[in-house]
Amino acid sequence: MMNKQSEHLSKKQIEELQTNFIAWYQKKRRNLPWRQSRDPYFIWISEIMLQQTRVETVIAYFYRFTEKYPTIEALAKSDEQELLKVWEGLGYYSRARNLKKAAQQIMTEFGGVFPNEIEAIRSLKGIGPYTAGAIASIAFQRAEPAIDGNAMRVISRLYGIDADIAKPASRNVFDAVLRQLIPVEAPGDFNQALMDLGSGVCTPKKPVCTNCPLKNFCFAYQTQQQDRFPVKTKAAKPKDVYYFSVAITNEIGEYLLVQRPDEGLLAKMWTFPLVEVNREVFEAAQKNFAKEETLNLFSVAEELTLPANLPQNVVWQKRHLGEIRHIFSHLKWHVLLFYGVAQPDFVKPLKGHFVPFNEFSNYVFPKPQQKLVELLEKSKR
């Protein structure tokens, strides 16, 4: 798990490392909006937003979110569709739903005051070990590690740790090391220094070791083995899933939107109707529906047929409008967009209704739907 040459730093070395690291952070720290306060609410919101999302993207969302929901109470009372609209584009929408549930927990179980003990913080919906450690250390000065990919990469190189960071059990190895390193007088600064070092200096590829405040203590740097650490097995490839999306208009040019189920992926969000197909059907549609025939319409009865489980009593345009792809953590969506006109006997789905194009902004669209709307707009032009 750990190279014997660097298994332990002496107490004096640890103290010197802490001093150098905190000084570096105070000088080089990123100027981020959630760092202007130690309010646990703002730190919590930022940490949840930063999961799977770039810092540059989060900043605008953070301002918008905290302006609409400035307090725990405001978040607890939020309307879910409005909440998802504010979150729209960040993805992983369960994060937003869990924020509301955790805010309600704080109101009912902690009297509206964000808890300051690590176990209480961990009890909140959607908060795992990393987020709890970040909140506890930054907001409440608890000497708790915040172990994410950045922290594990830095520490694995610093100590020469070859534990596979893709395995959950390896977290215990890094937890033990970090508890030796975190200074009790500045745990929040230390954890944020790890975040900044990992994102800007000790990067996954081509780390800028000459700029690193820890280089004199770093096993990987001293032995020129930066590329060896961290050890990480490759994640499983996302599963390919294939869909036809259908933009259906009525006689006055409104488009059919349907709401997804209350649970599961993209729960309660709005999209054009989606029909799952197999790869063979998808690829045949890619090739055989003639894009150049932009004005011809065909019905499902003709030789170029669409799957029978598409909405019925629709006249379809004899081409698809293009393809979008979207990768979730475990799925890769491939979606072809078709256009059709509803006939007088068309029966809309139970959870669907026709919406004017200029009112789409009132509905919560997941990223794939936003891409489909862009395709539709492009075809109009």
47 part of the active site: yes
Query: How is residue 281 written in tokens?
Result: 């059907």
Terminal C-alpha separation, the chain: 59
Tell me how many helices (H) and strands (E) the chain has: 14, 8
How many angstroms separate the Cα of 277 from the Cα of each of 197, 259, 281, 296, 335? 45, 20, 6, 24, 10
Alpha helices in the chain, H assignment, sequence order: 11-28, 40-50, 55-68, 72-76, 80-87, 94-109, 118-122, 129-140, 149-159, 171-181, 187-200, 219-222, 279-288, 367-380
Cα dihedral across residues 374, 376, 377, 381: positive or negative:
positive
In whole angstroms, give the CA distance from residue 186 to residue 137. Answer: 8
Residue of 7, 15, 16, 47 with catalytic role: 47
In whole angstroms, give the CA distance from residue 61 to residue 46. Answer: 9
Q: How far does Cα 140 stand from its chain's mean position? A: 26
Query: How is residue 143 written in tokens?
Result: 């000497």
DSSP state of 161: B
Q: Are 2 and 160 in contact (CB under 8 A)?
A: yes
Residue located via tokens 């922290």:
151
Catalytic residue set: 47
